[in-house]
A = this chain, B = another copy of it.
Amino acid sequence: MKLSQMLLGTLREIPSEAEIPSHQLMLRAGMMRKMASGVYNFMPLGIRVVKKIENIVREEMDKSGAQELLASAILPSELWKESGRWEVFGPEMFKLKDRNDREFCLGPTHEEVFTDIARNEIKSYKQLPLNLYQIQTKYRDERRPRFGVMRSREFIMKDAYSFDKDEKGLDVSYKKMYEAYNRIFERCGLKCSCVEADSGAMGGAGSAEFMVKSDIGEDEIVFCTQCDYAANIEKAPSKPELGEKEELNALAKFETPNVRTIEELIKFFNTTPKKFAKTLIYKADDKVVAVMVRGDREVNEVKVVNEIGGAISFEMANESLVKKATSAEVGFAGPIGIKVDFLLVDKEIVNMYNFIVGANETGYHYTNVNYGRDFEGIVGDFRKVVEGDTCPKCGKKLTIARGIEVGHIFKLGTKYSESMNAVFLDENGETKPLVMGCYGIGVTRTLAAVIEQNNDENGILWPVSIAPYKVIVIPVVSKNNEQMSIAEDIYNKLSQNGIDVLLDDRNERAGVKFKDADLIGIPIKIIVGKKINEGMVELKFRNENLSEDVEIENIVNKIIKKLKK
Contact = CB atoms under 8 A, between A and B. Distances in A.
28 contacts: A5-B65, A7-B67, A7-B69, A7-B121, A7-B130, A9-B121, A33-B117, A33-B121, A35-B75, A35-B113, A36-B72, A36-B74, A36-B104, A39-B74, A39-B76, A41-B113, A42-B69, A42-B70, A44-B69, A44-B132, A47-B69, A72-B154, A73-B73, A74-B94, A94-B98, A96-B106, A99-B141, A99-B143
Nearest to A6: B67
A139 interface: yes
Q: Which of A46, A47, A143 has the most CB of B within 10 A?
A: A47
Contacts of A43: 69, 117, 121
Given A6-B67, A96-B95, A143-B99, A106 B46 contact: no
Contacts of A39: 72, 74, 76
Nearest to A152: B72
Contacts of A139: 74
A270 interface: no
Interface string A24-59: 000000000101100111111011101000000000
A102 interface: yes
A420 interface: no
A321 interface: no
B41 A73 contact: no
B95 A68 contact: no
Contacts of A98: 94, 141, 153
Contacts of A65: 5
A71 interface: yes
A121 B31 CA distance: 12
Nearest to A44: B67
A533 interface: no
A336 B188 CA distance: 77
Contacts of A70: 41-42, 46-47, 50
A350 B76 CA distance: 56
A120 interface: yes
A419 interface: no
Interface of A: 1, 5-7, 9, 33, 35-36, 39-44, 46-48, 50, 65, 67-76, 91-92, 94-96, 98-99, 102, 104, 106, 113, 117, 120-121, 127, 130, 132, 134, 137, 139, 141, 143, 153-154
Contacts of A1: 67
Given A41-B70, A44-B68, A102 B36 contact: yes
B74 A106 contact: yes
A184 to B, nearest CB: 19
The oligomer's copy count stands at 2
Given A9-B121, A120-B33, A141-B99, A68 B94 contact: no
A75 to B, nearest CB: 7
Contacts of A47: 68-70, 134
Contacts of A94: 74, 96, 98
Contacts of A7: 67, 69, 121, 127, 130, 132
A7 to B, nearest CB: 6
A65 B46 CA distance: 18
Contacts of A40: 72
Contacts of A6: 67
A91 to B, nearest CB: 4
A70 B50 CA distance: 10
A69 B96 contact: no
A203 to B, nearest CB: 31
Given A98-B94, A143-B99, A72 B5 contact: no
A153 B99 CA distance: 11
A154 B74 contact: yes
Given A95-B96, A99-B91, A117 B72 contact: no
A35 B69 CA distance: 13
Contacts of A102: 36
**Top 4 closest pairs, chain A to chain B, by CB:** A96-B96, A42-B70, A91-B99, A44-B67
A48 B1 CA distance: 28
Contacts of A75: 35-36
Given A41-B69, A42-B70, A44-B68, 9 more contacts: A1-B67, A41-B113, A43-B117, A46-B69, A46-B70, A47-B70, A47-B134, A74-B106, A98-B153
A17 to B, nearest CB: 14
